Amino acid sequence: MAKLPLYAAGITALFAILLVAAATEDNALLKQAQGIFQPLPKDMATAEFPITRERVELGRSMFFDSRLTIDANMSCSSCHQPAFYGTDALPKPMGVKQRPHPRHVPTNLNAGTSFVIHWRGDRTNLEDQVFQALTLPITSGQPDEKAVFDRLAHIPGYAPLFKAAFPDDPQPITLRNIATAIGAYERTLVTPSPFDAYLAGDQEALPPAAKTGLEKFINTGCVACHNGVGVGGGMYQKFGVVEDYWKATGSDPIDKGRFDVTKDPNDLYVFRVASLRNVAMTPPYFHDGSVAALPDAVKVMTRVQLGVSLNDADTGDIVAFLQSLTGELPVNFATAPVLPSGAVVPAR
């Protein structure tokens, strides 16, 4: 250093200052992010819905078991496919007997972080969703709970699984217990991502473009709704705050959202804010799957919610951030269980 020319020393000093400035800026961004988002917990058990190994095993089996629906050819995993990160890559799924569902499949991964379930929030929690689905015409097609129990009774391997999962119940095969078990299984399905490592303090977990995207995601105002542990999933919001959503998405028909549930004019075009975890893996987008590509979905959102027209570069950065929300598929979701053996003969 002694022999270093003055200008070189000056450059070195400048470089050091820039490095410190960059690090300070990096730390400020991390601190800001830590105030807005939370990392995923190791599971989504609650005091009301605890997880036990036995319930998870039973619930996982039934989640994948196509024998429980009317024609014994669809299971929860038909729409919540592991290969598509808990979705089905369709705008709207087809239910039993070729009956179309009215809205796009939200992923069941990390779904326990959501404050309510379904696009219109008309399910209070995962267990409520399953409970209702078990006898709905589109989802299960079974006429009543007895029909569901009959199917389970035809598969001898289920009785001991129910007994183990609900040891205090003399008649453990109930709709409530089926829902509790499948809910317990779903509450294990968390996908920690590079962004979670970043929130835990690992600056290297995100590539530079993702950090730039995070900054733009914050500064553009996306975080007003997409915040918390789910990066969304924590509130309701009108879709189309500054512009009717269907003008940007081409949606047809126009869905009135939560209004159809509550009949409250304040709920017109209101939907549950979607969690953005694994969003890069779950096209198409929105309640009707009307937009196929993630960059387009980002542009639609900033336009109709925030009145901002994003250019391609900013959009690309935000997409890079959203890609950092992709976690690994949980092993107990990616891997099919071997189901209790038994044939059922549905009426045709």
Does 284 help bind a copy of itself (rule: CB under 8 A)?
yes
Q: Spell out, one character per residue from 85 to 104, where the chain touches a copy of itself: x when CB under 8 A holds, - when not.
A: x--xxxx-xx--xx-x----
Q: Which is nearer to a copy of itself, 201 or 346 (CB)?
A: 346
Rule CB under 8 A: is residue 161 a binding residue for a copy of itself? no
The single residue listed with the structure tokens 């994948």 is 64
Closest to a copy of itself by CB, 88 or 186 = 88
| Interface with a copy of itself, residue 281, by CB under 8 A | yes
- Restricted to residues 97-136, the positions that interact with a copy of itself (CB under 8 A) are 97-98, 100
Of the residues 38, 39, 43, 84, which one makes contact with a copy of itself according to CB under 8 A: 84
Contact between 65 and a copy of itself per CB under 8 A: yes
Taking alpha carbons only, the member of 324, 318, 323 closest to residue 299 is 318
Cβ-based neighbour number of residue 331 at 10 Å: 7
Nearest to a copy of itself of 228, 284 (CB atom):
284
CB of 232 to a copy of itself, least distance (A): 19
Count the residues in the chain: 348
How far is it between the farthest Cα atoms of the chain? 92
**Angstrom distance (rounded) from CA 205 to CA 211:** 10
The three-state secondary structure class of 215 is: helix
Query: Nearest to residue 186, comparing CAs of 46, 16, 333?
Result: 333
Q: Could you tell me how far CA 247 lies from the centroid of its own chain?
A: 26
CB 217 to a copy of itself: min, Å: 20
Among 39, 30, 32, CA closest to 229:
39
Q: Establish whether the linkage from the previous residue to 41 is cis, with ω within 30° of 0.
A: no
At its nearest, how many Å lie between a copy of itself and the CB of residue 263?
A: 29
Binding characters for a copy of itself, 202-221, by CB under 8 A (x = yes): --------------------
From the list 25-33, 42-50, 83-91, 240-248, the region that binds a copy of itself by CB under 8 A is: 83-91
In terms of Cα–Cα distance, which of 130, 109, 102 is closest to 275?
109
Measured in whole angstroms, the distance separating CA 85 from the mean position of its chain's CA atoms is: 9
- Residue 205: exposed, middle, or buried by beta-carbon count in 10 A (0-12, 13-18, 19+)? middle
- Say whether residue 17 binds a copy of itself (CB under 8 A): no
Q: Distance of CA 39 to CAs 180, 190, 210, 277, Å?
A: 25, 11, 17, 11
Please return the burial class of 201, using the count of CB atoms within 10 Å of its CB with bins 0-12, 13-18 and 19+. Answer: exposed
Q: In the range 315-344, which residues lie near a copy of itself by CB under 8 A?
A: 329, 334-339, 341-344
Q: Is 66 in the site for a copy of itself (CB under 8 A)?
A: yes
CB 63 within 8 A of CB 82: no
Instruction: Please tell me whether residue 253 binds a copy of itself under the rule CB under 8 A.
Output: no
CB 154 within 8 A of CB 11: no
Q: Least distance in Å: CB of 348 to a copy of itself? A: 7
- Contact pick of 209, 235, 280, 308 for a copy of itself (by CB under 8 A): 280
**Which of residues 67 and 258 has its CB atom nearest to a copy of itself in the complex?**
67
Of 55, 67, 216, 303, which one interacts with a copy of itself (CB under 8 A)? 67
Of 60-68, 119-127, 182-190, 193-201, the segment contacting a copy of itself by CB under 8 A is 60-68
Instruction: Give residues in contact with a copy of itself (CB under 8 A).
Output: 64-67, 71-73, 78, 81-85, 88-91, 93-94, 97-98, 100, 280-281, 283-284, 289, 292-293, 329, 334-339, 341-346, 348
